[in-house]
Amino acid sequence: MKTEFINTLLKLAESDERIHLVVGDVGFGLVEPFAGRFPNRFLNAGVAEQNMTAIAAGLAMCGKVVFTYSIGNFPTLRCLEQIRSDVCYHEADVKIVSVGGGLGYGALGISHHATEDIAVMRALPCMTVVVPGDPIEAGLATRALVDHPGPAYLRLGTRGEPPVHKADVSFRLGEAIRVTEEGVITLIATGTMLHNTAQAAERLAQKGIQARVLSMHTVKPLDVEAVLAAARETDAIFTLEEHSILGGLGSAVAETLAESRLHVWFKRLGIPPNFTSVVGSHEYLKQTYLLSVEGIVKQIASSLCCWGLSNSDAELSCGAAAARVS
């Protein structure tokens, strides 16, 4: 995703002199082409994310479209006051880019686990929150955000995310993409969970459970109509995110469903709202929190069994799939 982001930004910057990039002393193998091509529109603010954000806000107030870039929590939580007071309050045209969202920097521990960022960014006034699901969406999201006025948060994976979409897709901020159309249940995924969700849907189909898969690439504003359609047309909704189950996609969908008064089975799949004591690679941590393909299938099959919506042979007893390592 991050490669598609920078390649797209380079192409856009060739014809749009407003575009600037400010980084927090990271990503040099990635951002060097931009720095070399547009040295007057690139700045390394150093390990000083508060300054990085304030500089970006100042440039935006002068008519620029500014992207800030760093890893994990550094461009969001470390400089939250500047984002709130300098960027959002002034509705400045600053696009905050974080790479390694979720557990992408797994072995580096909780300082690098970005598991509350969507919740925090989503709570800020005027902030648009975009979490693309594959490289194709990442490129389209970058283009859309250049044209979209005001503050935005773009959350990317770490590296090597496989494409889910096999062809060009229609991408609009605030509109979910249907990866699969029909189903008796709906799986709503955001960000790095999209690929595993699509794979899990194929496994569920082999068990006789057809699933509609939605890529909810924009968490704010949420595609409320897509959620309500899923509630009306399918028997159960599952949200899947590499983020705490509090405050992110699951919370946004739950709020929508609660206010709609529609009756549908609903479950959030994600990371428990605790600091992890588990150390390991990105893939190992996803397996630990049942966010691997196998873990997703087990959780969904178990829930459907408990709700009486399926006679499928759930590989875990009812309720066991919800267990988490804390």
Can you read off the two tokens belonging to residue 307? 């709700």
- The pTM of this model reads 0.94
Is CATH 3.40.50.970 the right assignment for the domain spanning 2-156? yes
Can you read off the two tokens belonging to residue 83? 């984002």
Can you read off the two tokens belonging to residue 297? 């299938």
DSSP secondary structure of 271-318: E-SS-------HHHHHHHTT-SHHHHHHHHHHHHHHHTS-----SS-T
Asked whether 297 and 203 are in contact (CB, 8 A), the reply is: yes
Give the closest residue to 9 by CA, choosing from 171, 32, 274: 32
Q: Which helix (H) or strand (E) holds 228?
A: helix 224-233
Can you read off the two tokens belonging to residue 215? 């890529």
pLDDT digits (tens, 9 = 90+) for 126-176: 999 999 999 999 999 999 999 999 999 999 998 889 999 987 799 999 999
What's residue 312's pLDDT?
Answer: 54
What's residue 316's pLDDT?
Answer: 43
Q: Alpha-carbon distance 74 to 112, whole Å?
A: 8
What's residue 27's pLDDT?
Answer: 81
> Locate tokens 């390592």: which residue?
325
User: How large is the average pLDDT for residues 68-78?
Assistant: 96
Asked whether 173 and 146 are in contact (CB, 8 A), the reply is: no
Residue range 177-322, CATH number: 3.40.50.920
Task: Work out the pLDDT band at 317, boundaries 50, 70, 90.
Answer: very low
Q: What is the average pLDDT score of the chain?
A: 93
Beta bridge partners of 185: 211, 236
For residue 26, the one-letter residue type is V
Asked whether 275 and 244 are in contact (CB, 8 A), the reply is: no
The domains spanning 2-156 and 177-322 adopt the same CATH topology? yes
What's residue 276's pLDDT?
Answer: 87
Q: How far is CA 287 from the centre of its chain?
A: 18
pLDDT digits (tens, 9 = 90+) for 286-316: 999 999 999 999 999 999 999 999 765 544 4
Asked whether 84 and 124 are in contact (CB, 8 A), the reply is: yes
Q: Which helix (H) or strand (E) holds 187?
A: strand 185-189
Parallel/antiparallel/unpaired status of strands 211-215 and 185-189: parallel
Q: What share of the chain is helix, strand, coil (3-state, %, to 5)?
A: 40, 20, 40
pLDDT digits (tens, 9 = 90+) for 168-208: 799 999 999 999 988 999 999 999 999 999 999 999 999 99
CA max distance for the chain: 63
pLDDT digits (tens, 9 = 90+) for 223-274: 999 999 999 999 999 999 999 999 999 999 999 999 998 999 999 999 999 9
Beta bridge partners of 98: 70, 155
Task: Work out the pLDDT band at 322, boundaries 50, 70, 90.
Answer: very low
What's residue 229's pLDDT?
Answer: 97
Domain residue spans in the chain? 2-156, 177-322
